[in-house]
């Protein structure tokens, strides 16, 4: 990275948070978060986080939040538009949390190149387990909020992301990084935040082979 400003491609989960953290540690400055939401819904794609939580994450990092909405058919158009806005704001780099899925890496690089944005992947090709242990050791706090029940048991919904949880998943031959979409997380605390985000876990919803945990902002009752 060039030591300048960057926009963070922000899912609200562990990989995007660790990527942003590494970019900051390397001397770069976060200038914006951008998150893709479902086209006709009030929650983010994949992680299904409500707007208020993503807004709180951006506030605790201290940067503006940019939202785009798209279904998969319109994803590319909205992606390029978001990168174009960043470029217009003098942000030359975009940070992504990809680890080792090359097809997605190449797609992101291609889309960013169309508007002259440098795509940066701080986690690229590092051992998954090593990255996760770093995430926990650096003081991040995250919880599983989406489970793909075709790939892992629904009982893991709501669990805090810990080394012990990773061991449990691996004992069941489940990727503890969730890199193939086994699960998604929400980050509520860590070194990139000024204060812990008080997220309240609510009911679960089952849809199309997934279990989603409803989350909302609430009074801070930090997990023990």
Query: What tens digit of pLDDT does each residue of 101-137 get?
Result: 899 999 999 999 999 999 999 999 999 999 999 999 9
Look at residue 220 in the predicted model and tell me its pLDDT: 55
Query: What tens digit of pLDDT does each residue of 159-168 get?
Result: 999 999 999 9
In this prediction, residue 61 has a pLDDT band, given cuts at 50, 70 and 90, of very high
Output phi, psi for 9, to 5 deg. Answer: -70, 110
CA distances from 82 to 31, 78, 220 (A): 13, 6, 32
Residues in Cβ contact with 134 at an 8 Å cutoff, skipping those fewer than 6 apart: 18
With a cut of 70, say whether residue 27 has pLDDT above it.
Answer: yes
Mean pLDDT along residues 146-168: 97
CA 115, CA 7: separation in Å to the nearest integer? 14
Look at residue 208 in the predicted model and tell me its pLDDT: 92
In this prediction, residue 46 has a pLDDT band, given cuts at 50, 70 and 90, of confident
Long-range contacts (CB closer than 8 Å, 24 or more residues apart) made by 103-108 = 108/9
Mean pLDDT along residues 72-87: 95
With a cut of 90, say whether residue 176 has pLDDT above it.
Answer: yes
In this prediction, residue 12 has a pLDDT band, given cuts at 50, 70 and 90, of very high
């Amino acid at each position: 990275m060039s030591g300048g400003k960057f926009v963070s491609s922000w899912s609200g989960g562990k990989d995007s948070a660790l990527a942003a953290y590494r970019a900051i540690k390397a001397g770069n400055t976060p200038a914006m978060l951008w998150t893709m939401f479902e086209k006709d819904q009030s929650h983010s794609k994949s992680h299904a986080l409500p707007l208020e939580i993503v807004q709180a994450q951006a506030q605790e990092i201290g940067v503006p939040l940019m939202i785009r909405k798209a279904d998969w058919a319109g994803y590319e158009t909205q992606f390029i538009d978001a990168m174009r806005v960043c470029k217009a704001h003098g942000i030359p780099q975009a940070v992504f949390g990809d680890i080792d899925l090359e097809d997605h890496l190449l797609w992101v690089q291609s889309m960013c190149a169309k508007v002259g944005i440098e795509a940066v992947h701080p986690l690229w090709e590092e051992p998954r387990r090593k990255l996760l242990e770093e995430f926990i050791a650096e003081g991040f706090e995250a919880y599983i909020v989406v489970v793909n029940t075709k790939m892992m048991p629904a009982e893991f919904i709501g669990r805090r992301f810990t080394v012990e949880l990773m061991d449990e998943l691996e004992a069941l031959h489940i990727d503890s990084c969730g890199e193939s979409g086994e699960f998604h997380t929400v980050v509520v605390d860590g070194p990139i935040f000024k204060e812990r985000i008080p997220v309240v876990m609510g009911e679960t919803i089952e849809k199309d082979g997934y279990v989603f945990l409803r989350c909302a902002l609430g009074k801070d009752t930090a997990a023990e």
